[in-house]
Structure 1
């Protein structure tokens, strides 16, 4: 894990250095910079692209070559200090973060960046992030009366897709490191008074990052932190005054929390009903997602007829969407895969699984979940083969990628195995693989 965290931290440092360097260098040709700094043009390009981090000595030469008055050198010096501090932070890993009973509002919940250090070690970046990104932020023309520019808000909005993909593929420690980096930039401006329109836009992009942070904490098994960030995400979504975002935030929360066996499904069902209220009666992706999420919860509660009825409603909404996109269909097919497997509708479940696998990338967690739904579908009639299949699916993932939502999908296969088959060797092996759930 230490190697992965080192890689993630270095990726962040390269990215930040590239931003500052590109800003300070302005429109100076790479050829001129390279000549005065006694290096090559390709080397300068790699630095600007975030592919290389120069040595401290080279950073000094680059600083002189672009007349940065020591700013570029200082950035590199702080990065070097950061690398030394990470070792000290790791010594606190086993101790864990100090508990705090104070909740200071959504912005102050940046405790992620301190508490998270004990989990990711990458949050040691926090003390220097503001200094390293200041040059880039100062270069952007601010919106009237605001501390942010339109390009900064747009950049954070587009960054969501990068982090969402990381959530779907990377080990959660890596995903959280990237999210912490992003949140450090956003949170500084959430704390400040902004014009109403800017505050709404800023809250919108922040809410999306917050619910990804909550989901990542859940995958790491930290319920306390995930709870804090679910509250943060809801509050920010509501502050954005986007009912559809408020709906999606609550639906996604219910969907993620359903993977925690300690959760009360009735509470999650209430949360989904609240999401439906926000989504309203008109056809929308958010309404479709809320209805399919409701169907999943009802199926998990054994209320099969109601689950099927809710899923049919979701399918009807999807058919009435004016311009459905592949990503929206992917959500529906994934929920169909689980719901119809749980209620034992082999035809619809198989169709949904085939459709879902066409959308998901082979290395996405969702792909492994859908394949496990296929094993679930046959667990009642052929428990031995179903459990063998589930064991092979989970073992195909490296240990660090056997995240909670994948293990829960395997556990649901076990839950469907008849009592008389519990002694079978594949059943016992699957139980061991999913024992942490």
Structure 2
């Protein structure tokens, strides 16, 4: 009999050594990691530096970011020595440069669209953080995606037959409003670990969440606050006489609620007292809110196709512009950017709007004639790539096929990209490059 090549006859110690001899990225020293990072471009290198302390230390030590920064942008009339600046100043320079790159690409860069079927049913909402996208809609499951790999990382199943109304997530958990229940999932678990008792109140319409509180807006104009740690409804805040249609927070713990009468109410969460009421010109239903913590500006989209902007420091309206002939479903901006907001709605045009004055910078649609397979995996949806095109403000939308501009239900903005989700269950990533 020939000698066996299995490990059955090896001593126990050898078995353990073979099983445990795996190589991870933590096994690599900083020199090897720096060599790998040297193949990345500037934007991807900035993203890697934010992943963990060891990667950030390796990138700082190798001065890769400084070299790329000096190559792409000669500030102060040319290259400079990093030793002249504090670490904080240098990080600020990097952030400003990355945002200027983002702004330039969104304004005038070329557009590639990567799309795949994310759900069999429609996708009503999406939230994006840390390179991850959470989607959900008319079906009974939420999915968490890697935007860079177009891959589903996790699924979260609804514990009730009630519809999914709204959701959000952070580093460790997913919070969802399912009917009148607040549900909680751990990021690494499919089943809900907690579901609140159904509230005895009119139909819920929206939710916003900042740990440790989730706030639910209702058709009766009241916002109900749910304490995630105490796991109970803690208080009720009267915000409007009509239904609350959208909710948001600002940095000063002010609760911001839009109404079906075109008004925005601001209430202090600590005292439950109303602080101010902001009004639009046409009193059309507000459908979405977006607060920019860097500029203290609030943006609201309406059913009439208008976007309004207020400065919350002065409680003053800055501008109001009709950017679309139809219902606006979502207005968003990238964190840290005070220049551009992305606007999407029922007409399917992705609009990029100047935050400061409301000017429309660009109108983007898909070139339906272009179709290129990007990647297909047996266990995953097929990802196709199409070209995005910019159309003039005077273009006749009724002459553009609906296949080139499917209605946008929701959107999210990241570095040099906008993600849109649609009623046909598709997820589309619009990537903007120079």
TM-score (norm 1): 0.26
**RCO comparison, higher one (Cα < 8 Å, 6+):** 2
Q: Greater share of strand residues, 1 or 2?
A: 2
Q: Greater share of helix residues, 1 or 2?
A: 1
